[in-house]
A = this chain, B = another copy of it.
Amino acid sequence: MVKKLLQVLAGEPVSPPPIWLMRQAGRYLPEYRALRANAKDFVQFCLTPELAIEVTLQPVHRFDLDAAILFADILLVPHALGQKLWFAEGEGPRLEPVRDAGALTKLSYDPALLAPVMQTIKGVRAALPPHVTLIGFAGAPWTVATYMIEGQGGTDHAASRGLARDRAFFSRLMDILVESTGAYLIAQVDAGAEALQIFESWAATVPDDLRREAVFEPTARIVKAVKAKHPKIPIIGFPRGGGAWLADYARATGVDGVGIDQMTDMPAAARTLPAHVAVQGNLDPDLLLAGGEAMKEKARRLVEAMAARPFIFNLGHGVVQPTPPEHVAQLVATVRGA
């Protein structure tokens, strides 16, 4: 059975394009909320294979999407590094901040802590229809580092940006994250992931003169490590907020596909990328939330504009919580020309 998503990531345009949605498994689905009630702690929810398998499969079953994405969290890597991680109810993640050399020496990657993720991948893979691709993922080093340093989410990243200029500290932290993230992604492919996505969700806060050492090089090293072990695994990089330098990113990192956010003119950005690089995106999640003709029209125009290109339909960011599930069904039908 041909997997459309893998065809596109091999550089081949497919019509209609494959579609999946970032955060397609999540709180906007009533069946997700029902399962979520079974685990008090979000980390344990991610690390309980029977729950994570079911949650990963839910949107695929409901909408017949072209890909499932592993249900997990980018902060599982800090968790496996031994950093204390918890989710404050309604407030997002909290971590014991890592801000000095002493805290760095305490970090040590324990792959056994993420063994449940590999069981989830095996379980999902066994249950997926043959035309559906299973995508594994991890956060990119800079993005994960911002949480590790700040001790929480946020968008200013003052402490992270400051420490990024502390060469000894920052290069050590990047090394730790490159090594652990590389090992984690390799294990995901070993377990059955058929494509990978690296989320650089906070690309936008990196100053221009640090982009090479904070974004390009660490990501390139991960891509290289994964491909050394699994030469054919396709990797999508998603530098959210990186609309001004996508071509440099693609060249520097060696990814097979580039995710594009909704702030970017996707057809124009795609023209700056090498022809074999797939592009993925970029419908505004607010249009999915709103639904109706505005959403459908924009989706149709995107599909049309990207027809000549290896292209994966997606959002420019994750599904937002209040999105009515029916809008997703309408979007899938629209993209497939129904």
Q: Flag A100-128 by CB within 8 Å of B: 1 or 0 each.
A: 00000000000000000000000000000
Given A207-B316, A208-B262, A244-B243, CB of A287 within 8 Å of CB of B155: no
Nearest to A243 among chain B residues (CB) is: B244
> Is A3's beta carbon under 8 Å from chain B?
no
> Is A15's beta carbon under 8 Å from chain B?
no
Interface size, A (range)? 20 to 34
Contact in complex: A290, B165 (CB < 8 Å)? yes
* Beta-carbon contacts under 8 Å, A138-197 to B: 155-156, 158, 161-162, 165
Contact in complex: A155, B158 (CB < 8 Å)? no
> Is A289's beta carbon under 8 Å from chain B?
yes
> Is A91's beta carbon under 8 Å from chain B?
no
Known interface pairs A208-B282, A243-B245; 20 further A-B residue pairs with C-beta atoms within 8 A, sorted by A's residue number: A161-B284, A161-B286, A162-B290, A165-B286, A165-B287, A165-B290, A204-B204, A204-B241, A207-B262, A207-B284, A207-B286, A208-B264, A208-B265, A209-B262, A241-B241, A243-B243, A244-B264, A244-B265, A244-B269, A245-B265
Q: Which 5 A-B pairs have the closest CB atoms?
A: A244-B244, A243-B244, A155-B155, A207-B262, A207-B284
Which residues from chain B contact A290 at a C-beta distance below 8 Å?
162, 165
> Is A48's beta carbon under 8 Å from chain B?
no
> Is A223's beta carbon under 8 Å from chain B?
no
Contact in complex: A162, B286 (CB < 8 Å)? yes
Nearest to A282 among chain B residues (CB) is: B208
Contact in complex: B209, A298 (CB < 8 Å)? yes
* Cβ contact of A263, chosen from B156, B208, B298, cutoff 8 A: B208
* Beta-carbon contacts under 8 Å, A235-276 to B: 241, 243-245, 262-266, 269
Which of the listed residues A162, A263, A294 has the most CB atoms from chain B within 10 Å of its own CB?
A: A263
Which residues from chain B contact A265 at a C-beta distance below 8 Å?
208, 244-245
Distance, CA A69 to CA B29, complexed state (A): 50
> Is A225's beta carbon under 8 Å from chain B?
no
Given A165-B290, A244-B244, A287-B165, CB of A320 within 8 Å of CB of B158: yes
Nearest to A317 among chain B residues (CB) is: B207
> Is A205's beta carbon under 8 Å from chain B?
yes
Which of the listed residues A205, A282, A284 has the most CB atoms from chain B within 10 Å of its own CB?
A: A284
> Is A95's beta carbon under 8 Å from chain B?
no
Give me 23 A-to-B residue pairs in the complex whose CB atoms sit less than 8 angstroms apart, sorted by A's number.
A158-B320, A161-B284, A162-B289, A165-B287, A165-B294, A204-B241, A204-B263, A205-B263, A206-B263, A207-B262, A207-B263, A207-B284, A207-B286, A208-B264, A208-B265, A208-B266, A208-B282, A209-B262, A241-B241, A244-B244, A244-B263, A244-B264, A244-B269
Q: Flag A15-29 by CB within 8 Å of B: 1 or 0 each.
A: 000000000000000
Which residues from chain B contact A262 at a C-beta distance below 8 Å?
207-209
Distance, CA A207 to CA B261, complexed state (A): 9
Nearest to A266 among chain B residues (CB) is: B208
Which residues from chain B contact A294 at a C-beta distance below 8 Å?
165
Distance, CA A298 to CA B210, complexed state (A): 12
Which residues from chain B contact A286 at a C-beta distance below 8 Å?
161-162, 165, 207
Nearest to A286 among chain B residues (CB) is: B161
Distance, CA A269 to CA B269, complexed state (A): 15
